[in-house]
Amino acid sequence: MGAHDTGIDGLAAAARAALVREIDADGAWAGEPVWREAFATVPRHLFVPYYYVAGRGGYERRWGESPEREARERWARGAYADVPLATRLRDGELLSSSSQPSLMARMLVALRVEEGDRVLEVGAGTGYNAALLAHRLGDDDLVTTIDLEPEITESARQHLAAAGYHPVVVTGDGARGVPERAPFDRIIATCALPTVPRAWLAQCRPGARVLTPLATGLLALTVRDAEHAEGRFLPSAAYFVPLRGEGRTEPEEVSLAGLPGRAREQDLFRFLCALARGTLEPQGAYALWEREGEPDRGRYGVTVAGEHVWAWLDDPEGPYLWPLP
């Protein structure tokens, strides 16, 4: 989008204000207006110069430099919809996306960022989340973001610069962290992981907070030291593109055929199956889930202790414990 296109600039500003009002109504700020100001200021459209919208015939590419004004307007309005935006595809597979803004707001509030915190973001994506963090902290050098794909980190760096932010962008395996930028007070992942990488704890200060997607939930851990961390899942569901890197595997799909339950109940049960995969058969897991009152995500947690990582229901001491990889 050219700088002279003031009509599109104005449309984007109005759409951004509408998005902030929508997130306001959703209650995502949770009494932290500093994040409202960040979302009202950081221009999301600069981080998605093009994106893909799924349709019946495949994906439609929306582009901010389209020669057709109507197409540019659709792009600008869509950039501020409260939905995830597909930004990179390869052979029909989603490689990268810009997360749903209201979910991003809830995650950033749950991260409990304080002034002066050093933050590591795993999964650079478009750079938008790193820009929000840099805006909130008021110091670009406090924010580090990492992604495995050089194309993703290069485009994130360009988007950030275009919006006036310059956090440190690193190309590498996010599961290994960024030791040269440690220690961190907060780590936030915007990609799904099968477990909690031990390298993260070693790069955290005692008392640090880690927020990461795991098994279609959001796990919030408090780090005690390099070997120990513990915490619970937030109540809300979260679906993210899996982390790519050395030794990463895709989660197994769990079949719920023949099991009763409405969509919400099946979602909560699938979460238990994802946490306890390889330990419980679906029928046994369903019996446990029903017996324990159909627990939601907030009743589950994870403990890291040395070489051992396990998920649990209600109590880290048991009786319901499931080892994670």
Predicted local distance difference test score (pLDDT) of residue 82? 96
SS (H, E, C) the chain: CCCCCHHHHHHHHHHHHHHHHHHHHHCCCCCCHHHHHHHHHCCHHHHCCEEEEEECCEEEEEECCCCCHHHHHHHHHHHCCCCCEEEEEECCEEEEEECCHHHHHHHHHHHCCCCCCCEEEECCCCCHHHHHHHHHHCCHHHEEEEECCHHHHHHHHHHHHHHCCCCEEEECCHHHCCHHHCCEEEEEECCEECCCCHHHHHCEEEEEEEEEEECCEEEEEEEEECCEEEEEEEEEECCCCECCCCCCCCCCCCCCCCCCCCHHHHHHHHHHHHHCCCCCCHHHHHHHHHHCCCCCHHHEEEEEECCEEEEEECCCCCCCEEECC
pLDDT mean over 35-47: 97
What per-residue confidence (pLDDT) applies to 249? Answer: 42
Span 89-146, pLDDT tens digits: 887 777 778 999 999 999 999 999 999 999 999 999 999 999 999 999 999 999 999 9
**pLDDT at position 261:** 55
Q: Name the active-site residue from 96, 97, 99, 155.
A: 96
What pLDDT score was predicted for residue 158?
98
More confident residue, 324 or 89: 324
pLDDT (0 to 100) of residue 245: 57
Nearest residue to 84 (alpha-carbon basis) of 76, 71, 72, 96: 96
Which of 50-59, 265-274, 310-319 shows the highest mean pLDDT?
Answer: 310-319
Q: Which CATH class is domain 6-237?
A: alpha beta
- Model's pTM, two decimal places? 0.92
The yes-or-no verdict on residue 175 having pLDDT over 50 is yes
Higher-pLDDT residue of 3, 168 = 168
Domain boundaries, the chain: 6-237, 263-323
Mean pLDDT to the nearest integer, 47-64: 89
pLDDT of residue 90: 81
Report pLDDT digits (tens) over 259-310.
Answer: 455 677 888 998 999 999 878 888 888 899 999 999 999 999 999 999 999 9
Is 66 part of the annotated catalytic residue set?
Answer: no
The residue-averaged pLDDT of 302-325 equals 95
Distance CA 280, CA 168 (A): 42
Distance CA(38)–CA(110), nearest Å, equals: 15
